[in-house]
Amino acid sequence: MSEETLSNLSREDRSFEPPAELAAHANVKEEAYERAAPDREAYWAEQAERLDWDRKWDRVLDWDNPPFAKWFVGGRLNAAYNCVDRHVEAGNGGKVALHWVGEPLDDTRTITYADLQDEVCKAANALTALGVESGDRVAIYLPMIPEAVVAMLACARIGAPHTVVFGGFSSDALASRLADCQAKVVITSDGGYRRGAASALKPAVDHARAKASEDGFDVEHVLVVRRTGQEVDWDDSVDVWWHDVVDSASAEHACEFFDAEHPLYVMYTSGTTGKPKGILHTTGGYLTGTSFTHWAVFDLKPDTDVYWCTADIGWVTGHSYIVYGPLANGATQVMYEGTPDAPEKGRWWQIIQDYGVTLFYTAPTAIRTFMKQGREIPDKFDLSSLRLLGSVGESINPEAYMWYREVIGGERAPIVDTWWQTETGAMMISPLPGVTAGKPGSAMRPLPGIEADVVDEVGESVPNGSGGYLVVKRPWPAMLRTIWGDDERFVDTYWSRFRKQGYYFAGDGAKKDDDGDIWLLGRVDDVMNVSGHRLSTTEIESALVSHPKVAEAAVVGAADDTTGQAVCAFVILRDSAGDGGADIVEELRRHVQKEIGAIAKPRQIMIVPELPKTRSGKIMRRLLKDIAEHREVGDVTTLADSSVMTLISEGLSSGKAED
């Protein structure tokens, strides 16, 4: 028998038809799949027509030198013009682009498309005056304030690729990114508000600049937004205040149009290991992909919807689904600076109620945190404006999906579970809300124009009911073009596993259910091998989360003399479950056995108060594996909260955790 690629353990029979009203008026209907399949390039060319081009392309796709793609060859456009000016020119200057909500209560700003145009033009003029030219890189290290959006668009407007570094990253992380992309200017602020306090940003830039300088690279200018008013160190030869140079700049700026393949931005992603990779996205294809998917998957009705994506601007989700997709579509959106629990739990629901949010996009990690706290909190608010919910970042466990659907979506709003990556630039696999009967936990089908599949070790498509590797078989417009400065690493990382077939390998495991719908099963690096069965993390975690006392779970494979590896689980209980009772561990082991079978029954279950997560909310299983195998915990630099590992270890040694 050949080794199974990845076991298919769980079954899920629930599914939810699209609401009739939504289906009747949906932006995209079933026919899109049929139309796109025979001629994907024609389908993408049709989507590219959504944008304003200064010059149309001569050729849709140049794939003569795979895996280096060129889309809309010969076309010229400006991303900022598409996101801002054209809406003003169409008479929508008075329309709200951003309802910005600061973390301190009553600290809000309303920014129309006309306001945004003025701000972007001023910032573009200011950057030009600082010596930034087309092709120069600009780093952005800002909190979630409107200037972050303005700064990105101003860079795009003058053709200077930006690299946004998440404001929670350390000065070392910033320094390595500055040096890698040789950023000429850094845009930052004195600080931002987080969890009720002003936290400084400028000192990290000062350190990063000094560090980069030691390594032989000098940043020319630091442009500083005043947000908190806190004290900052100042170097007159480098530092300039935003209010000095941007506010006084002219609001007139004639934009230049750039080649469709002009670099738009570099986004660093650390992945699971190693040196961060600078993922390069270019202009025409990326904007086509983000604008189409934002319109199709959220069924955006720009005149009536209020959209809110809770991601930080420092992640790709913030780039594609706060800045480029929604603004290209002329959407009205909410942007929030702070955390969900500031000043108290329920802040997000308050914002939805206050602004009548209709489309809401967040991550499973947030949903599970709210599940842990209990439904009493969201139940206090009127969430009836919501008509569609989205999820991104990890698989959404079926139980978290059901909670999201019932408690937040009032059993009305369909859920779109969107699979994509920094590298893919835009959503790839997702339900279409007016077409797909969504299944809790499944990202369902590749979007029209996308050819993705689940394949085995040798690249053969697996039959329905089986698991394997998720691949993308044909190029797509928003795909990464390379890793900044490292074509070889680009080829090795993404295109070598299935080189013969020419498939892009995403690093994720997945399965096709009996209907051929796709379920993401976690990173293949995290797969466990138990008695010769290759088990994914997602299915066992979902089985644990389906127990009424469990809010969140992470499983890892730990070395085992008998079975090769054994399943070890780390579990956070819901607040309502108290300590779970004396038999909680046995109860949960039996539950997993009942849900998916004896093979997946955890050898060990540890009840913990927190799980180690990256700053974008993904569980760092590698660290849990160190604990499960009684090793010293490895590199924790990408951990969001470094005290978590101490909390877990203390919990374990004080006897709260059980074997």
Q: Which residues bind ligand AMP (CB under 6 A)?
A: 269, 316, 392-395, 417-419, 421-422, 443, 506-508, 520, 523, 616
Between CA 555 and CA 385 the distance in angstroms is: 36
Q: How far is the CB of 234 from ligand AMP (least distance, A)?
A: 35
CB-nearer residue toward ligand AMP: 102 or 433: 433
Helices 113-129 and 146-158, interaxial angle, to 10°?
A: 60
Task: Decide if 97 contacts 117 (C-beta within 8 A).
Answer: no
Hey, what are 477's tokens?
A: 């417009």
CB-nearer residue toward ligand AMP: 373 or 614: 614
CB-nearer residue toward ligand AMP: 193 or 505: 505
Q: How far is the CB of 399 from ligand AMP (least distance, A)?
A: 15
CB-nearer residue toward ligand AMP: 326 or 346: 326
CB-nearer residue toward ligand AMP: 187 or 311: 311
Quote the longest CA-to-CA distance of the chain: 73
CB-nearer residue toward ligand AMP: 242 or 403: 403
Residue 317: alpha-carbon gap to chain centroid: 4
Between CA 6 and CA 536 the distance in angstroms is: 7
Closest to 298 in 3D by CA, of 281, 283, 317? 317
Helices and strands of the chain, counted as H and E runs: 22, 30
Q: How far is the CB of 269 from ligand AMP (least distance, A)?
A: 5
Task: Decide if 341 contacts 524 (C-beta within 8 A).
Answer: no
Task: Decide if 567 contacts 605 (C-beta within 8 A).
Answer: no
User: In angstroms, what CA-CA distances link 371 with 308, 404, 521?
Assistant: 20, 9, 22
Q: How far is the CB of 365 from ligand AMP (least distance, A)?
A: 11
Which residues sit opposite 388 in a β-bridge? 359
Q: How far is the CB of 360 from ligand AMP (least distance, A)?
A: 15
Where is 620: in which H helix or E strand?
none
Residues sharing a CB contact under 8 Å with residue 417, sequence separation 6 or more, in sequence order:
390, 391, 392, 395, 396, 401, 430, 431, 438, 441, 442, 443, 444
For 226-261, what is the HEC assignment? CCCCCCCCCCCCCEEEHHHHCCCCCCCCCCCCEECC
Hey, what are 496's tokens?
A: 């070598």
Q: Specify the pairing of strand 528-530 against strand 518-523.
A: unpaired
Name the E strands within 254-330.
258-259, 263-269, 277-282, 306-309
Residues sharing a CB contact under 8 Å with residue 80, sequence separation 6 or more, in sequence order:
120, 124, 153, 154, 156, 157, 255
Q: How far is the CB of 418 from ligand AMP (least distance, A)?
A: 5
Q: How far is the CB of 359 from ligand AMP (least distance, A)?
A: 16
CB-nearer residue toward ligand AMP: 269 or 466: 269
Q: How far is the CB of 425 from ligand AMP (least distance, A)?
A: 10
Q: How far is the CB of 530 from ligand AMP (least distance, A)?
A: 21
CB-nearer residue toward ligand AMP: 141 or 469: 469
CB-nearer residue toward ligand AMP: 163 or 422: 422
CB-nearer residue toward ligand AMP: 332 or 538: 538
What one-character-per-residue DSSP string does 525-582 give? GG-EEETTEEE-HHHHHHHHHTSTTEEEEEEEEEEETTTEEEEEEEEEE-GGGTT--T
CB-nearer residue toward ligand AMP: 365 or 418: 418
Position 606: which residue type? M
CB-nearer residue toward ligand AMP: 19 or 507: 507
Task: Supply the Cα-derived Rg of the chain in whole angstroms.
Answer: 24
Core vs surface per residue 303-341: b (16+ CB within 10 A) or e: eebbbbbbbbbbbbbbbbbbbbbbbbbbbbbbbbbbebe
Q: How far is the CB of 519 from ligand AMP (least distance, A)?
A: 9
Q: How far is the CB of 422 from ligand AMP (least distance, A)?
A: 3
Q: How far is the CB of 471 from ligand AMP (least distance, A)?
A: 12
Q: How far is the CB of 600 from ligand AMP (least distance, A)?
A: 19
CB-nearer residue toward ligand AMP: 179 or 506: 506
Closest to 621 in 3D by CA, of 562, 550, 565? 565
Cα torsion through 541, 547, 552, 557, rounded to 10: -30
Q: How far is the CB of 421 from ligand AMP (least distance, A)?
A: 4
Q: How far is the CB of 200 from ligand AMP (least distance, A)?
A: 26
CB-nearer residue toward ligand AMP: 189 or 537: 537
Hey, what are 90's tokens?
A: 């169409």
CA torsion sign for 646, 651, 652, 657 is negative
CA triple 400-404-406, angle to 5 deg: 115
CB-nearer residue toward ligand AMP: 77 or 443: 443
Q: Is the peptide bond before 343 cis (omega within 30 degrees of 0)?
A: yes
Q: How far is the CB of 103 from ligand AMP (least distance, A)?
A: 24
CB-nearer residue toward ligand AMP: 147 or 399: 399
